[in-house]
Amino acid sequence: MNSSKLNYAPSRPFNGGRGVRTRGAAARDLGRGGARRGDAAGGSMTGGGKRRPRGAAAAAAAEAAVGEQCEKNGDVKKRRSDQADIPDALRQEAETCYQLRLPEDFYQFWKFCEELDPEKPSDALVSSVGLTLVGPYDILAGKHKKAKLTDVNFNLHWRFFYDPPEFQTILVGDSKTQYHMGYFRDVPDELPVWVGANEAKKNCLITPVGDNVFAAVKLFLSKKIKEVTDKKKSAVLKEIDEKLTRTAKELGYSLEQKTMKMKQRDKKVVAKAFHGAGLVVPVDKNDVGYRELPETNANLKKICKAIVDAPTDEERLKAFAPIQEMLTFVQFANDECDYGMGYELGMDLFCYGSHYFHKTVAQLLPLAYGLLRRGLFARIIEAHLAQRRDERLDQLEP
């Protein structure tokens, strides 16, 4: 295949802020790749997409944000009195390695596992529940000090094939399905919005399982208890479930799968994306910030399938035409500050999983993250695309 026809000019490094953007600046960043602009399907805006009217939804989201802030303020006071007994230096090390803040439930769950197995807290749930504490928990366990590699990129540590930059793995389960749980953040310098789960061997779907790790493991335990027929195993699981429930209640953590805070976040979602977790971008009172893609998720998947399944390079190039057109639409959207459009297209192509889209994703997502001021996510996606794999995910493996 003459790949030059599909590989667009690399995006320029983002300078750290939006600044004043001249007409066509984002188009130059993305590169047109020879695409021709077609008629804007179903929208009156330049570039094919249309901004979604928000009206009441915008007001609800604003209301939700106020409620969430109040909830956060209330939480802070409670957490300070119930802070996990983990040295500040160790907390700092874990958060520095990832360049991400970790919520208090992360540390409290470590202390809970320490009570179950003081020698190996990371393995406290392995034999009974089938879950291992990984990722930033490896820092608390001191595993990083024994690693052979000295320049470990922790944001690739336990990063599964379909994990977007927003997802940070903290627990792994069945290796056959690559079941794992992790914190999901909309913005890198904010705390997670919830804990999600994915089975990378099956698909890219990320399912919310609670707004803290106690709730996520409680849900996992509940399902496990229903499946187990052995009385002894069932008794062990129920005992752990009771301990976890008691600890969570004492610490004030909700054990609901979907809390009010999570529902409030749902109101801010502008697009579900292929992974189903939803994308959140700032949208102002004039609805500037996001415009819809000209294709539905179902149609975009058909386009992707046609590209991947094309029998020849020539056929693949033809099948790529709708994506080229959408790239042009993204250029116009970026020029008009609707950065969410390129974010959505880039994420969908990443989630589809084919290497045929990697170079396009490498232009769309780092640029979108830069425009949204989510620089760490841009660096994570670039590193992940360079080493995207479905095995050997433990970066600290001796």
184/266 Cα distance (integer angstroms): 13
Same domain, 109 and 248: yes
Tens digits of residue pLDDT in 59-69: 444 445 444 44
Same domain? For 202 and 102 the reply is: yes
46-55, 60-69, 82-91, 354-363: segment of lowest average pLDDT: 60-69
Sheet containing strand 167-172, edge to edge, reads 132-133, 167-172, 179-184, 194-199, 207-210
Among 233, 265, 297, the domain-final residue is 265
The predicted model gives 179-202 an average pLDDT of 98
Whether the predicted pLDDT of 87 surpasses 70: yes
Q: For residue 168, what is the enclosing H or E element?
A: strand 167-172
What pLDDT shows up at residue 47? 57
Orientation angle between helical segments 297-309 and 321-335, nearest 10 degrees: 130
Strands 279-280 and 269-271: antiparallel
Q: What is the DSSP string of 366-392?
A: HHHHHHTT-HHHHHHHHHHHHT--SS-
CA dihedral over 13, 162, 208, 143, signed as positive or negative: negative
Tens digit of each residue's pLDDT (9 = 90 or more) over 217-228? 999 999 999 999
User: Is residue 40 included in any domain, yes or no?
Assistant: yes
Residues 203 and 150 in one domain: yes
- In this prediction, residue 48 carries a pLDDT of 62
The pLDDT assigned to 82 comes to 67
- Secondary structure letter of residue 158 according to DSSP: T
Q: How many helices (H) and strands (E) does the chain have?
A: 14, 7
Based on the domain organization, do 214 and 298 belong to the same domain? no
* Residue 42: burial class (beta carbons within 10 Å; 0-12, 13-18, 19+): exposed
Residue 269: beta bridge partners? 280
Token pair of 146 as six digits: 């024994």
Per residue in 113-168, pLDDT (tens digit) is 999 999 999 999 999 999 999 999 999 999 888 766 667 889 999 999 999 999 99
Helix axes 213-227, 104-116, angle to 10 degrees: 50
Q: Quote the mean pLDDT of the chain.
A: 85
Domain total in the chain: 2
Contact indicator for 197, 206 with CB cutoff of 8 Å: yes
pLDDT at 46: 53
Handedness of CA 178, 183, 184, 188 (dihedral sign): negative
Average pLDDT for 350-357:
98
117 and 221 both lie in a single domain = yes
Residue 171 dihedral angles phi and psi, to the nearest 5°: -140, 140
Q: How many other C-beta atoms lie within 10 A of the C-beta of residue 250?
A: 10
Give the model confidence (pLDDT) of 15-31 as tens digits.
333 333 433 444 444 54
DSSP 230: -
At 262 the pLDDT is: 97
**pLDDT higher than 60, residue 58:** no
pLDDT class for 92, splitting at 50, 70, 90?
very high
83 compared with 286, residue with greater pLDDT: 286
Tell me the residue range of the domain where 47 lies: 3-55+271-386
Nearest to 82 by CA among 101, 105, 115: 105
pLDDT band per the 50, 70, 90 thresholds, residue 80: very low
Residue 236 belongs to a domain: yes
Structure tokens at 370: 């830069």
Q: Are residues 241 and 101 in the same domain?
A: yes
Q: Which of 206, 239, 265 represents a domain boundary (last residue)? A: 265
Which H or E run includes 198?
strand 194-199
Measure the CA–CA gap between 337 and 288, rounded to whole angstroms: 7
Q: Give pLDDT, residue 43.
A: 44
The residues annotated with a catalytic role in the active site are 336
